[in-house]
Amino acid sequence: TTTPEMDEKLIERISKHPCYSEEAHHHYARMHVAVAPACNIQCNYCNRKYDCANESRPGVVSELLTPEEAAHKVLVIAGKIPQMTVLGVAGPGDPLANPEKTFRTFELIADKAPDIKLCLSTNGLMLTEHIDRIKQLNIDHVTITLNTIDPEIGAQIYSWVHYKRKRYRGVEGAKILLEKQLEGLQALKEADILCKVNSVMIPGINDQHLVEVNKAIRERGAFLHNIMPLISAPEHGTHFGLTGQRGPTGKELKEVQDNCSGNMKMMRHCRQCRADAVGLLGEDRSQEFTKDKFMEMAPEYNL
């Protein structure tokens, strides 16, 4: 839904992005390519065997591609699904912990399929370091996963943060991450790049605090807030520090979303898609375009 104060230019910018516009998500599709395996932090709810739990569906293992394979895949899919408007790099680790792979992928797509909008998801630790490259490549949508603005709470969510060749633990690590996330958000605002903030709701840890998070990100110009439930299921394996942690009920999630919604746009149509998702939100066509299949479909796109 759009609000009256949104100007036409902004509506145009989000109108083909299924995650940023609720209307668009019925008509336009997005795809993810999994090119970024490494991560620079350790979230306590993340099991590294699976896709980054900050943007993706937990418990899913995406097929890792090189930037060239990813570009090949994008060209094949763009030819087959005309509603495909957005390409996102969202994992399986943190895209900005793999800057060469991530930006090489974006460069190839910008060059070969310039109509496709570029979207990036990150934990935010390295955002300010790469903001110039993000601007240069015309990446118009960035998601930061920001679960707290309080380092004490952060210490319960993140077990370590690897920054500038050093590993920081506890409150010290959380403090660095949280500062960098807010600086990153500000840098996006200054660059006029639309920013969505994801927050993973963890009962007993940050649930009561998310209204404050909402206020902080709104003040810094975030466009959309997506509060997502922690999904913890035994089949996802042991989570590092949050073993036995439950996720919120639907009612608890809605309550927090409602408490924030007086303040800004909330995303309520998120489907927590996989790092190699293809299709409309809520629809998963990733298995139609696995590596062996897309390689065969259009060998002429092989880079």
Contact positions toward ligand SF4, by CB under 6 A?
19, 30, 32, 39, 41-43, 46, 52-55, 86, 88, 90, 93-94, 119, 121, 123, 141, 143, 196, 273
Residue 58 or residue 248: which is nearer to ligand SF4 going by CB? 58
Element (H, E) at 78: helix 67-80
* C-alpha radius of gyration, the chain, whole number: 18
Residues 6+ apart with CB under 8 A from 301: 71, 72, 75, 76
Phi and psi angles of residue 58, each rounded to the nearest 5 degrees, phi first: -65, 155
58 closest CA partner among 237, 283, 251, 270: 237
**Could you tell me the smallest distance in angstroms from the CB atom of residue 94 to ligand SF4?**
5
Minimum CB–partner distance for residue 70 and ligand SF4 (Å):
14
Instruction: Tell me how far apart the alpha carbons of residues 180 and 129 are, in angstroms, rounded to a whole number.
Output: 10
Q: How far is the CB of 200 from ligand SF4 (least distance, A)?
A: 8
Contact 63, 33 (CB under 8 A): no
Angle at 185 between CA 182 and CA 191, to 5 degrees: 145
173's enclosing H/E stretch is: helix 170-190
Nearer to ligand SF4, 242 or 251 (CB): 242
Query: What minimum distance in Å lies between the beta carbon of 208 and ligand SF4?
Result: 22
Strand partners, 167: 162
Contacts of 225 (CB under 8 A, 6+ apart): 196, 197, 199, 214, 217, 218, 260, 264, 265, 266, 267
Q: Which is nearer to ligand SF4, 52 or 127 (CB)?
A: 52
> Which is it for strands 29-32 and 278-279: parallel, antiparallel or unpaired?
antiparallel
Query: Residue 72 or 141: which CB sits closer to ligand SF4?
Result: 141
Residue 137 CB, shortest distance to ligand SF4, in Å, is: 15
Taking alpha carbons only, the member of 193, 210, 212, 192 closest to residue 201 is: 210
Nearer to ligand SF4, 22 or 295 (CB): 22
Least CB distance to ligand SF4 at residue 255 (A): 24
Residue nearer to ligand SF4 on the CB measure, 54 or 232: 54
Q: Hey, what are 114's tokens?
A: 């310039």
Q: For residues 282 and 299, which CB has a smaller minimum distance to ligand SF4 in the complex?
A: 282
CB of 300 to ligand SF4, least distance (A): 27
- Which residue's CB is nearer to ligand SF4, number 214 or number 272? 272
Minimum Å gap between C-beta 93 and ligand SF4 is 5
Cis peptide before 92 (omega within 30 of 0): yes
